[in-house]
Each structure stands twice: as structure tokens, then as C-alpha cells.
Structure 1
Amino acid sequence: MSVSLSKGGNVSLSKAAPSMKNVLVGLGWDARSTDGQDFDLDASAFLLAANGKVRGDSDFIFYNNLTSSDGSVTHTGDNRTGEGDGDDESLKIKLDAVPSDVDKIIFVVTIHDAQARRQSFGQVSGAFIRLVNDDNQTEVARYDLTEDASTETAMLFGELYRHNGEWKFRAVGQVMLVVWHLYVLSTALTRPDRKVTFHPGC
């Protein structure tokens, strides 16, 4: 049975799905009525070391960099409409392949070109993140976001993290520093001389 999480709640993967080796993280949302412009949300993942920083640009997984250099995390592709039931975007994680110096993997959703289109999460409903055992397609945990983020354009939905030698999943629902995220999008993979670091907002 899937564990329903509230904000800040966590679940131990070794207890909820002890044999799970391959994880699918599904993210979904529905756009409310707007002025007719396209509403494009993008999911991304960051592999973070214990100091809260990525080790390099390849630890930023998004629509323009679909797989981490070690092959442990893969983005299944960009969905530019968010239409239809189920997951709008998803990422796959091979737990055994995640490097030992990666302490956590965070999952972020941003609104593409939000400022120009005057769009925010206040126009989004039914947002969720769920954890699925990709070996048997069984849902392990789910978090339905209910927070008021009427003016925000980037949110941290959830995270996989190591704790005492095991993997856990936490429901976060936290606002991101939009300026930082836009900086990452504009420099990652295009400026190899610039090292990307993670610094969350609150």
C-alpha cells in the first residue's frame, strides 16, 4: 500500500519496499485556465554531495541533460503541455548506481518562461510527486502539494536522501530561489568553466 505523505513527512525505502533497486519518481500537475498562452512546467533533479552542492554540471538532470554521467539518474523527457492523467514528467533512479559521495537527490519543478508569460504556481492545481518501484510498477509513496504558492515559479517537490546507510524519501514542498534557478538554466552545460552549486530558498 502506498504511503501518503504530508509536507515534511518521510518514508524509509528499506521498510516500504525492501527489495526495490530501481525507482521512478513521477511528477504531475494541472494548469488552471489562463489567458491562452501555453503553460509549460519542467521537472529536474540535482545530485547533491554532503555539503549541499552538486559535484559538477552533469549532476543537474533536466530536459537538456537527460542522464547523469554515471547513468544513475535519467529524465524520461520533456512534456510541454502537462495534459492527460498520470505523471506529466518522470525520472528514473538506479539506487545501487548512485555514487557514494551523493548524499541526496532533489526534485524541482519550474515554470518555463514564467516571467514573460506572467505565470505562477497559483495557476497550477493537483500538483504531486510520487515514488514508484520501477521493478514492479508499485507506488511506494505519494505527496500531494497543497501549499499556497500563488506568486512562485519554482518549487522543490521532494528528495531522496541517505540516512544511516539507507535511502529515505521526504516530501518537501519548498519554494526555490528563482533567480538562482534561472542562473543555473542559463549556464549549466553551456559554460563548462562555471561550476553550478545548489542553494535553496525558503
Structure 2
Amino acid sequence: MGITLAKGQRVDLTKSNPGLKNIIIGLGWDTNKYDGGNDFDLDTTAFLLGENGKTTSDGDFIFYNNLKHSSGCIEHLGDNRTGEGDGDDEQMLVNLSLVPSNITKLAFTTTIHEAMERRQNFGQVSNSYIRVFNKETNEELIRYELGEDFSIETAVVIAEIYKHNGEWKFNASGAGFEGGLVALCNNFGINI
């Protein structure tokens, strides 16, 4: 069992795991009692960011319509449209050795698809988490459970993996946004 983090905590990822290169980011969630008549579709996204905290191109935005970064460093492994079942609902494969040198941070986010139209928000989501595990050994290294701190938010920056002094670190962000995917994209320099 890996390290369990609380919001705002940071932990080393590669220094304590020498040679770590291929990881899987797994995200999971359940919905609270919701009777709006619509499925609850959460979408996992990743933004590859430079020193200024912005993407360098539209290709640095990985989501269900752009599943793989041109460098091969991140690949989205599929869109789960209901969150049904146990375990990870969506996963992303990350090869840390392929992250381009101008990218210093990987931000992993979740948004609610058509949140405004369906009148859904993260206050209706429970048991949400992000975990990092070693693809080679299947060992869970880090887990961060978001809790239920959100009420009106429709997008969350769940965690960041960032480079510091040549090593990769993990930050349990848990920063909520109103405005869904558009708000996140604007924040990270993608114009929709």
C-alpha cells in the first residue's frame, strides 16, 4: 500500500522510487443520491504545462478526443461514461522519461460532462480519488481521496506531477472550478 495524502500535501515520486518511469494514474468516483434522470459522466483530462503554468500548444491537452500526446508521454486509456463498477473508472498511462524537456508539470483534472445542462456538480460525487501505481509492478505508490469538500464546482484539478531539481513530485491539489472544462482550459491556456 502506498502513501495516502491529504489535500495540499506533496510527496516525492521518483527519488524514493529510483528508475520509476511508467506509471498509471487511476481515477475513480461514485455518485451520491441523484435522481436527475441523466447519467453522471466524469471526464479525466491532463494538461502538460511549461514553466509559466500554461500549455505550449493545443496538443498538450489530453482528453477523450485527443487520447495520446505526440511525444507518447501520456495516453488516456478510455472514457467511462457512467462511473459504474469498482476500482478505477478512468486511467492514464504516463511515461515520465518521454515528457518533453519544456514541460515541467502534468495537471490531472476531472470535469462533469454537460454539468450545467444536467444540473450536476461535484457536491453530488462521493468516494472520488486519484492514485498512482507502478505499471511494471502494479504497486500503488500514492493515493489521494478528494473527500466531499465541493458543492457547486463542475471541474477539479485533482493532482499535479511536477519536476523539481530533476526529480518528479506529486501534489494533491484538490482545486475546484466553476465553469467546467471551459474554465479549466482557459486557466491552462487552451482556447475552446
> TM-score, with normalisation over the residues of structure 2?
0.93
Asked whether the 8 Å contact 2:155–2:184 carries over to 1, the reply is no
Cα distance in 2, alignment partners of residues 46 and 150 from structure 1: 24
Secondary structure of the corresponding residue to residue 172 of structure 1: coil
Shift of 1:177: 4.9
Cα distance in 2, alignment partners of residues 11 and 24 from structure 1: 17
Shift of 1:164: 0.8
Shift of 1:16: 3.4
Secondary structure of the corresponding residue to residue 14 of structure 2: helix
Secondary structure of the corresponding residue to residue 45 of structure 1: strand
Secondary structure of the corresponding residue to residue 16 of structure 1: coil
Q: CA RMSD in A?
A: 1.6
Cα distance in 2, alignment partners of residues 163 and 15 from structure 1: 11
Match of 2:146 in 1: 145
Superposition pairs of residues 125-140 of structure 1, within 5 angstroms:
125-140=126-141
Structure 2 residue ranges without an equivalent (≥5): none
Instruction: Give the direction of change, closer, same or farther, for the CA distance of 1:57–1:184 in structure 2 (3 Å limit).
Output: farther
Shift of 1:15: 3.5
* Amino acid in the other structure paired with 1:198: F
Cα distance in 1, alignment partners of residues 32 and 73 from structure 2: 34
Match of 1:198 in 2: 188
Cα distance in 1, alignment partners of residues 119 and 26 from structure 2: 26
Superposition pairs of residues 10-89 of structure 1, within 5 angstroms:
10-35=10-35, 36-89=37-90
Cα distance in 2, alignment partners of residues 117 and 107 from structure 1: 23
Asked whether the 8 Å contact 1:31–1:124 carries over to 2, the reply is yes
**What's the CA shift string for 1:143-190, capped at 9, x where partnerless?**
0012421111100100100011100011010013526x32677xxxxx
After TM superposition, which residue ranges in structure 1, 4 or more long, deviate above 6 angstroms? Answer: none
Asked whether the 8 Å contact 1:54–1:197 carries over to 2, the reply is no
Asked whether the 8 Å contact 2:123–2:148 carries over to 1, the reply is no
Number of aligned residue pairs: 188
Matching of residue 123 in structure 1 with residue 124 in structure 2: yes
Secondary structure of the corresponding residue to residue 14 of structure 1: coil
Instruction: Give the direction of change, closer, same or farther, for the CA distance of 1:197–1:124 in structure 2 (3 Å limit).
Output: closer
Structure 1 residue ranges without an equivalent (≥5): 186-195
**What's the CA shift string for 1:113-152, capped at 9, x where partnerless?**
0001100111100010001111111100000012421111
> TM-score, with normalisation over the residues of structure 1?
0.88
Cα distance in 1, alignment partners of residues 69 and 30 from structure 2: 28
